[in-house]
Structure 1
């Protein structure tokens, strides 16, 4: 533990989680990105395409590829936003709703398994630490506050 850096632990853990999710998704001819998108789209009201990227933490280019693939597979349909003529709403098809249920089961299983193996106190500490890290990054308190030393 002494030699591990915080960023290494975060990166290695996320890579392991992503690999696990992608392996599970492949059993259903899907990907983690598709599953995450399915879970991020409101199953009843649809979701504006412009809010999906920020909600998922995805760049527009990656999101566009994911949505195009989902549309080709019949998981989603795009419709004009009646409240904003320039915008598009993304809706799940019936098939998309079925796949969304599978994705939800996978996420619930992951979370239940972790909760069985980690105490509530440990989990609360984990969330506190991740919140502090995110706050430090978003408030630019890690690098922007430090002076650049020149020789």
Structure 2
């Protein structure tokens, strides 16, 4: 990926990962979003619906559609939060717990395959770089710099 910008590499890689997960999930009449939701819901205690969006990095409208589809398929049930009558807790059904295990195994398989092809040291550096990028974004340190010279960038635009 020589001469590619960092954001291009991140976007292209994430799109490939998402496509891979969606292809696998489609074999089970599901989607990557469904699998991610299954993994994000506490399998015993349930999860407040308001906590799921931020946990998954999803917008409320997308999450609402995903949860509706999951409810229609019998993967989850919604119950009023006993501690806050205005809130809703999302629980996995027995079927949802089965599918959660399938999602978990799929993610573990991906991680194991990557680890077989990339050294621990390279993975450690990848994680450090990703964490630094996230920190720069969260601290709003990307566009607050006054000037960036071409020599300061890791990969220059051509």
Which TM-score band (shorter chain)?
Answer: over 0.9
Unaligned runs of 5+ in 1: none
Query: For residue 61 of structure 2, what is the aligned residue in structure 1?
Result: 61
1:96 aligns with 2:107: no
CA distance in 1: counterparts of 2:81 and 2:129, whole angstroms: 39
Query: For residue 4 of structure 2, what is the aligned residue in structure 1?
Result: 4
CA distance in 1: counterparts of 2:116 and 2:130, whole angstroms: 20
- Structure number with greater CO (CA < 8 Å, separation at least 6) is 2
SS at match of 2:140: coil
Task: Please tell me the root mean square deviation across aligned C-alpha atoms, in Å.
Answer: 1.0
Q: 1:85 Cα deviation (Å)?
A: 1.0
Deviations 1:32-69 (A, max 9, x none): 00000000000000000000000000000000000000
TM-score normalised to structure 2 length: 0.91
Unaligned runs of 5+ in 2: 148-158
CA distance in 1: counterparts of 2:146 and 2:74, whole angstroms: 50
CA distance in 1: counterparts of 2:26 and 2:72, whole angstroms: 17
Aligned length: 147
